[in-house]
């Protein structure tokens, strides 16, 4: 009887703790009156007056906004900016082999969603979106982190990388075909595939990254197109997509943050999206192009005091995940290691750069280094054999399961190896 009573007592205590935890969670989700007013002010600033609006089956709302009244022009550096509808120069990329299906960016939105001329399509930000961003910050995920920042003063706690990195000479453009996977991650976790450029000193790093992300707090569910930029090492500038002024949207068909489909199947059909970033040689603006369609650009003036105003010397392709230290880290890529190969492991192929003269180049092998911050959980394999289906590519990813302690032990081991 005593044993049974102890069991009942433990059960009641457990239920009480769960209820208290849920109540605390609910209290955190309800902002104070002052916070509510601030969030409403932010929403009003972010969501511009729509000429036309659409709601998808997933509950996402897309607005058609006057191209001249979009959020970008709230930025103090863009008050007198003249919109460029297309780049004055477009790189002639090198044609590479393709053994997977390419996603058509113009087919991503449901039929019937069409914005009129003179407008751009923008995904509407909700009050819950802002609350979710606050929650992400509270658990330690402030923003995307570039792999080149590892080992420096920028906080990388909970972040894990598996990439190939270029750092050699001036880069004015990058390209890659990013394999699409739809992963399951918990509410507080992030998994992404990225292509990024960066420049300037580490403590004031400027970077732009594009790719796909699975992040329930930012994108509800499934895999979404994402972009991120910063001009000062993730301190005061930059954001995801168009959640702050900066990115100038020109497309009325491809919104940032859009749901991506179809996705790859393990040991089945593989899908990829063709993305590129390049600096317009006449204006210095950084253009984002998806499947040959101009989505928009980050004006040069955003980076005038940073390392991206005149090209850069750092680029990377691969995967990144984030998890609070209280949880084991999630899947990266397909959730399988690179040695499983095509159809099973995630990849980015067609890796190319634009040099300082504006010419497309396949990076030389000695200019690329593989970066695996947590090799027990995630790996990256650089493909550089001309006999392979792709001349330059990376297989990356893994099943996860890392903790903050494991990461610190591996990092210490890498530091010790450097001393040998």
Chain centre distance of CA 209 = 6
**Residue 139 belongs to a domain:** yes
Residue 5 within any structural domain of the chain: no
- Look at residue 36 in the predicted model and tell me its pLDDT: 86
Low-confidence stretches of the chain (pLDDT beneath 70): 1-29, 140, 142-156, 305-306, 386-387, 404-420
Cis peptide before 168 (omega within 30 of 0): no
Q: Is 301 inside a domain boundary? A: yes
pLDDT at 18: 33
199 within some domain: yes
User: Cα torsion at 384, 387, 390, 396 (round to 10°)?
Assistant: -50
Q: Is the dihedral of CA 362, 372, 224, 298 positive or negative?
A: negative
User: What are the Cα distances from residue 276, in Å, to 197, 208, 260, 303, 333?
Assistant: 11, 11, 17, 19, 20
Range of the domain at 319: 33-419
Instruction: Specify if 21 maps to a domain.
Output: no
Q: CA 315 to CA 169: how far, in whole Å?
A: 11
In a domain, 20, yes or no: no
Residue 19: what pLDDT?
A: 36
Helix axis angle for 127-138 and 33-46, nearest 10°, is: 110
Looking at the 3D structure of the chain, how many domains does it have?
Answer: 1
Q: Domain for residue 63, yes or no?
A: yes
Residue 154 has a pLDDT of 54
Predicted local distance difference test score (pLDDT) of residue 68? 97
User: Does residue 19 form part of some domain?
Assistant: no
Question: Residue 172 in contact with residue 89, Cβ under 8 Å?
Answer: no
Confidence at residue 309, expressed as pLDDT on a 0 to 100 scale: 87
């Amino acid at each position: 009887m005593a044993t049974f009573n102890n069991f009942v007592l433990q059960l009641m205590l457990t239920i009480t703790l769960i209820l208290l935890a849920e109540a605390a969670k609910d209290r955190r989700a309800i902002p104070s009156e002052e916070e509510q007013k601030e969030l409403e002010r932010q929403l009003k600033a972010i969501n511009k007056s729509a000429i036309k609006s659409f709601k998808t089956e997933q509950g996402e709302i897309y607005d058609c906004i006057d191209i001249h009244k979009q959020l970008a022009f709230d930025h103090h550096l863009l008050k007198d900016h003249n919109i460029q509808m297309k780049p004055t120069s477009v790189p002639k990329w090198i044609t590479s082999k393709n053994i997977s299906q390419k996603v058509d960016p113009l087919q991503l939105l449901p039929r019937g969603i069409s914005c009129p001329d003179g407008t751009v399509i923008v995904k509407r930000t909700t009050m819950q979106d802002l609350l979710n961003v606050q929650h992400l910050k509270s658990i330690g995920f402030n923003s995307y982190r570039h792999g080149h920042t590892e080992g420096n003063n920028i906080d990388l706690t909970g972040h894990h990388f598996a990439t190939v990195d270029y750092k050699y000479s001036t880069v004015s453009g990058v390209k890659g075909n990013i394999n699409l996977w739809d992963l399951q991650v918990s509410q507080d976790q992030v998994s992404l595939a990225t292509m990024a450029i960066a420049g300037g000193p580490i403590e004031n790093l400027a970077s732009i990254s594009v790719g796909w992300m699975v992040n329930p707090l930012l994108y509800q569910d499934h895999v979404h197109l994402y972009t991120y930029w910063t001009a000062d090492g993730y301190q005061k500038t930059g954001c995801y997509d168009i959640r702050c002024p900066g990115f100038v949207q020109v497309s009325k068909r491809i919104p940032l943050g859009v749901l991506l489909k179809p996705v790859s199947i393990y040991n089945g059909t593989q899908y990829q999206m063709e993305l590129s970033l390049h600096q317009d040689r006449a204006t210095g603006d950084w253009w984002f192009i998806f499947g040959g369609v101009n989505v928009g650009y980050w004006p040069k003036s955003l980076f005038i005091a940073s390392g991206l105003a005149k090209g850069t010397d750092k680029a990377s392709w691969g995967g990144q995940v984030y998890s609070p230290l209280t949880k084991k880290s999630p899947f990266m890529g397909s959730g399988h290691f690179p040695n499983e190969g095509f159809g099973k492991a995630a990849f980015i192929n067609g890796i190319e750069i634009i040099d300082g003269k504006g010419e497309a180049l396949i990076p030389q092998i000695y200019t690329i280094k593989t970066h695996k911050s947590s090799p027990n959980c995630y790996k990256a394999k650089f493909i550089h054999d001309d006999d392979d289906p792709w001349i330059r590519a990376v297989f990356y990813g893994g099943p996860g399961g890392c903790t903050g302690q494991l990461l610190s032990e591996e990092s210490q081991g890498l530091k010790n190896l450097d001393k040998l």
